[in-house]
Structure 1
Amino acid sequence: MTTFPVHTMESAPERSKPALQQLQSAFGMIPNIAGAISTSPILINSLVGLFGNVHGGSFTEAQVQIVLLTDAVTNASAWAVAFHTTLALKEGIDPADVQAIREGRLPKDDKYAALSALAKTMIEKRGRLSDQDVDHFLAAGFGKDHLLEVIAAVAASTITNYTGSITKPTLEAPFQAHAWQG
């Protein structure tokens, strides 16, 4: 079995260090997934660029977590499901809505349900949304700009989800309570 390093600030490639510093500032730690991603400066820098735009975009942080948790479940990324479960609960999302997403169901909250459904459908259909998919999302009160912004969130989560599936980083203690097996 191929193993991948989980880099620290000291062991990471030089061109990965600024990105890791940004993530450490955002989370107060370097998540293991980021340490693994930093093996490739190209990938970690791509992620951090998307990360900054997604988390600084027009969605609330809770809405971002709905999309990222849905993506993690849809892509069956155990590390990311635990991580985004922790962050979603920290953002005050109803635990029942978080559990629904973890189980592949839609949240009760209408806006969260529209976001979750769009993210899941976008991944499952590889971006080939039907007019009905688009209309359902827009009818929930979101704009066309929001629909396109979800693409950026899906792209960012795809980086972490795929990397997690390939590198299998250890789940850190703060996220253990939300460990997930798809």
Structure 2
Amino acid sequence: MTSYRIHTVDTAPEGAKQPLMLLQEAFGFMPNGAGLMANSPALLSTFFSAFGHFRGSGTFGPDERQVLLLSNAVANGCAWAVAFHSLEALADGVEPAVVDALRRGELPADPRMAALSATTRAFIGKRGHLDDADVTAFTAAGFTEGQLFEVIAGAAISTTTNYAANVARPPLEPPVRPYAWTEGHWGGV
């Protein structure tokens, strides 16, 4: 369990209150990852702004965004984020079989989702040094070269929350608990 403070809207530093309030409204509960990031209003505000652009002006659909974010959470070994994005993925229409495959660290059977997951994992694993085969597989699945850069935005957003949660190891919120995950022990949905 964490020794870092998990803020609420009431306890957060002034610069973190508004982003926390909006995140709580969006998810229907306060994500502990956001409450942790509120310890640094600069971190939370950076995350909040980037996520808003990724979600609001990005070209990935909700299901694709969740495949990307869940793939990153698994690649970064972040138990809190895997559980959180498992819940969100299912809510955003990702098939349970796809979520299960991603939680196991495998590529899903769906070719488009497999290409998206493989590309985002390659970005993390290769520290951004994709080769021609990585790019070709991504675009062959119907994604654009512009979306390749959008994957970078998703990886950056994931890194923010994944690293904060890996440092602090927050408890899972009640709605997220059924999706608990431990690296190497995937726990199906």
What TM-score do the two structures reach when normalised by structure 2? Answer: 0.93
Task: Tell me the residue number matched to 1:71.
Answer: 72
2:28 corresponds to? 28
Q: Which runs of 5+ in 1 are unaligned?
A: none
Q: For structure 2, which runs of at least 5 residues remain unmatched after alignment?
A: 184-189
**Where does 1:41-60 land on structure 2 (aligned, <5 Å)?**
41-56=41-56, 57-60=58-61
| AA partner of residue 48 (structure 1) | F
Structure 1 residues 23-172: aligned runs within 5 Å: 23-56=23-56, 57-172=58-173
Task: Supply the distance in 1 between the matched residues of 2:33 and 2:6 (Cα, whole angstroms).
Answer: 7
State the Cα distance separating 1:25 from its structure 2 match: 2.3
Partner amino acid for 2:35? G
Contact 2:6 2:32 (8 Å CA) reproduced: yes
> Using the alignment, how far apart are the partners of 2:129 and 2:54 within structure 1?
21
Residue identity opposite 2:100 in structure 1: Q
* Alpha-carbon distance in structure 2 between the residues aligned to 1:2 and 1:111: 37
**How far apart are residue 30 of structure 1 and its match?**
1.7
Kindly state the Cα deviation for residue 150 of structure 1 after the two structures are TM-superposed: 0.6
Residue in structure 1 matched with residue 7 of structure 2 by the alignment: 7
| CA displacement, residues 128-159 of structure 1 (integer Å, 9 cap, x when unaligned) | 00011011101111111100001001100100
Aligned residues between the structures: 182
Identity %: 47
Q: Distance in 1 between matches of 2:59 and 2:26?
A: 18
What is the SS of the residue equivalent to 1:105? coil
Contact between 2:83 and 2:176, CA under 8 Å: does it hold in 1?
yes
Residues of 2 paired with 1:69 and 1:51: CA distance?
Answer: 15
Q: Give the partner amino acid of 2:68.
A: V
Give 1:173's aligned residue. Answer: 174
Secondary structure in structure 2 of the residue aligned to 1:46: helix
Residue 2 (structure 1) shift: 7.6
Deviation per CA, 1:44-99, whole angstroms, max 9, x where unpaired? 00100111111121100000000000000000000000000011111221111111
For the aligned residue pairs, the C-alpha RMSD in angstroms reads 1.2
Cα distance in 1 for partners of 2:41, 2:105 equals: 33
Q: Distance in 2 between matches of 1:143 and 1:2?
A: 41
Shift of 1:19: 1.2
**Could you tell me how far apart the structure 2 residues matched to 1:118 and 1:50 are?**
20
Match in the other structure for 2:19: 19
CA distance in 1, matches of 2:2, 2:176: 24
Change (3 A) 1:146 1:15: same
Query: Which whole-Å CA distance do the structure 2 matches of 1:177 and 1:30 have between them?
Result: 17
- Matched residue SS, 2:175: helix
